[in-house]
Amino acid sequence: TAHITENTQIQTVKIETNYTGSVSNYTMTLLSGSLQDGVWNFTFDNYPDNNLILYRIFALDVFGNANTTVQAGFGIVDTLEPNIVSITQDPAIPAYQDIVNVTAHITDNVQIQTVKIETNHTGTLFNHTMTLLSGSLQDGVWNFTFDNYPVNRSIVYRIFTLDMFDNVNASIQFSFGYFDIIEPNILSVTQDPVVPAYQDIVNVTAHITDSTQIQTVYIETNYTGTLTNYSMSFKSGSLQDGVWNFTFINYSLNKLITYRIFVIDVFGNTNASEQFSFIVFKPTDGKWPHFIIFIIFFLIFGSVATVGTMRFILKRKRQKGPSIMKSEYRSRLKHKLHTDFPEGVYVISTEVMERINRIVGLTEAERELLIQDLTFMGEEEATQWIDEIEKSLKP
């Protein structure tokens, strides 16, 4: 505004200014008073920032007399950089295939023009535009999502922000990564049947877990005659927690079949099981497999029990018709003997009896009592029982 007086009257008042980019004259408006004593006005409603706006006032009366003020100026010069208040990464420690969100809280005294994130997650350093998630261009939260990035590699990033006056700011560098160095876990290896008989199909299953996912599982075995690797089939579950299977259909008889499991995950971490084995004997023509039968005689003399044993080999000609597996025959034989001699006959396999005889540290009485106990157990349970006894007798 300019307060101007004149003894006659003012004809015009103009303002000379460069606010549009070049120096021009603009008419001022009588805001109040009269042409002899009045207040004149001009409004700068659109002018560039970070630029000095110059102006001066010219007044002309009705008789051509003129007057000019000195030059004045103003301007808004913004030299303040944007403020990166905070940067948050979620999750702070990502797990396998986690989506990682990075948010930046940024303020500015005028307004933000752009926010970018510089990162190497695609393989080379590149600037990606961040998105205004909430707030305003003067006080807002900006976001970028890492939804696809390499594993076993450090992902680095930092934030750049630019305001409307080209003032810039940059954060420090941050990083994250998922590094898989954990080997797969072979929880269990199961063989069915545990003690295969003649012509049995043998299934081996392995329960395997991994922090990422399994790439391949194979079984190393000599069942065809030479040690060879064969792929195991995925049976159930997932590639992070699943069951894998291999079936022995045709294998050599009278020969120890060995095998162990190898597993590799998608990042090359490996693990191997211990070695397992089984053997199947070809039956002798015309004869059943042998079983040792122990008949326990209890003779009571007053309060003293005397234990006597008699062992003999039971042999029987093979009947014509379909073959009966060893385990099935033994079960039938055991049932028949217990039916005929419920108080005094016990059946035990040759293999288990040989294990009992090899136990060091048992008295004869203890050995006979152990035989009685084991006859009521299956082959696998009896073997586990003997293992525990042998451990307990070790010094």
In the chain, the domains with their CATH numbers are 2-74 (2.60.40), 83-176 (2.60.40.10), 185-278 (2.60.40.10), 291-393 (no CATH)
Contact by Cβ (8 Å): 174, 89:
yes
Q: Cα–Cα distances in Å, from 107 out to 85, 143, 276? A: 7, 14, 66
pLDDT at 55 over 60: yes
pLDDT at 292 over 60: no
With H, G, I as helix, E, B as strand and everything else as coil, classify residue 243. Answer: strand
What pTM does this model have?
Answer: 0.50
**DSSP H or E run through 60:** strand 53-61
Contact by Cβ (8 Å): 259, 247:
no
Question: pLDDT, tens digit, for every residue of 194-248?
Answer: 999 988 999 999 999 998 899 999 999 999 989 999 999 999 999 999 999 999 9
The alpha carbons of the chain give a radius of gyration, in whole angstroms, of: 48
**Alpha-carbon dihedral angle through residues 223, 224, 226, 229, given to the nearest 10 degrees:** -70
Mean pLDDT of 136-165: 95
Question: pLDDT, tens digit, for every residue of 349-380?
Answer: 778 888 888 888 777 777 777 887 777 677 78
Q: Report the pLDDT value the prediction gives residue 208, as an integer from 0 to 100.
A: 98
Q: Report the pLDDT value the prediction gives residue 39, as an integer from 0 to 100.
A: 97
- Beta-carbon count within 10 A of 155 CB: 19
Question: pLDDT, tens digit, for every residue of 303-361?
Answer: 333 333 333 323 222 233 333 334 444 455 455 445 554 444 445 677 888 888 888 87
